[in-house]
């Protein structure tokens, strides 16, 4: 992956910058609590800007790579976008003055949507349909962005699945490797597809989940035939 972010604040290696921002976020704790917001996206954003703060070639490539991913802001429901904008406002308020000038509230919104719709969880669970609301079921500590993996389209009748393997199990190196495994024969010219959601619920429920989480209406063959 070009980016693996920790979404559990207890697992973050505390840099001076992260510690400062975390302290400022604690000052906003009452607001997060009263709104019922889940802070994991805030943790991911802070981890990201700390990576960018290294100011080296890797950081420059990282910024460009994240910007190249899909960010379906225009497809979001107005209420959900409004909630996210309010969420971003309080993340922005926790940043030091210098970082507030560097990262606007719009930048935070764009990152959160990009991360939510492209990151792959290391395990079986993932963010809930609304990651900005307290009570999401995921206990994952890490989510990774893979440039190629983010290009795979969704289908409720997929022909492939994703698997993430630790490189320490393979090459004794740190990091992760994304595997795309076919689950049925794939014809020449057929698009490789994966499922973004649980395939067991009925069509209406799957489509609601995809609309809420990924901001599109599924028109795959299974959804249009059932």
* Whole-number Å distance between alpha carbons of 140 and 193: 24
Res 205: pLDDT: 94
> 38 with 135: CB under 8 angstroms?
yes
In this prediction, residues 133-146 reach a mean pLDDT of: 55
Give the pairing type, strands 193-194 and 153-154. Answer: parallel
* 25-67 per-position pLDDT tens digit: 777 777 777 887 777 788 888 888 887 876 666 677 888 888 8
pTM above 0.85, yes or no: no
Cβ count within 10 A of residue 36: 10
126, 115 Cβ separation under 8 angstroms: no
Q: What percent of the chain has pLDDT over 90?
A: 32
Flag whether pLDDT at 98 surpasses 50: yes
Structure tokens at 154: 């969704």
pLDDT digits (tens, 9 = 90+) for 141-195: 577 888 888 889 999 999 999 888 777 666 656 677 888 999 999 999 999 999 9
Neighbouring residues of 184: CB distance < 8 A, sequence distance ≥ 6:
159
* Position with higher pLDDT, 207 vs 58: 207
- 142-145 and 3-6 beta bridge pairing: antiparallel
Tokens encoding 53: 């703060």
């Amino acid at each position: 992956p070009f980016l693996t972010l920790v979404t559990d604040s207890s697992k973050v290696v505390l840099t001076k910058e992260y510690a400062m921002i975390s302290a400022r976020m604690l000052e906003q704790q009452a607001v997060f609590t009263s709104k019922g917001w889940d802070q994991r996206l805030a943790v991911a954003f802070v981890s990201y800007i700390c990576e960018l703060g290294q100011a080296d070639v890797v950081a420059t490539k990282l910024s460009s790579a994240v910007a190249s991913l899909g960010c379906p802001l225009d497809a979001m429901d107005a209420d959900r976008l409004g909630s996210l904008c309010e969420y971003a406002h309080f993340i922005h308020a926790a940043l030091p003055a210098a970082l507030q000038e560097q990262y606007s509230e719009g930048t935070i919104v764009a990152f959160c949507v990009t991360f939510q719709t492209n990151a792959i969880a290391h395990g079986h669970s993932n963010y809930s349909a609304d990651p900005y609301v307290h009570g999401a079921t995921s206990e994952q500590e890490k989510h990774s962005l893979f440039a190629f993996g983010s290009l795979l389209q969704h289908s409720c009748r997929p022909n492939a699945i994703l698997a993430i393997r630790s490189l320490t199990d393979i090459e004794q190196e740190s990091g992760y490797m994304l595997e795309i495994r076919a689950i049925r024969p794939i014809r020449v010219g057929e698009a490789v597809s994966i499922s973004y959601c649980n395939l067991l619920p009925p069509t209406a429920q799957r489509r609601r989940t995809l609309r809420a989480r990924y901001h599109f209406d599924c028109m795959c063959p299974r959804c249009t035939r059932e």
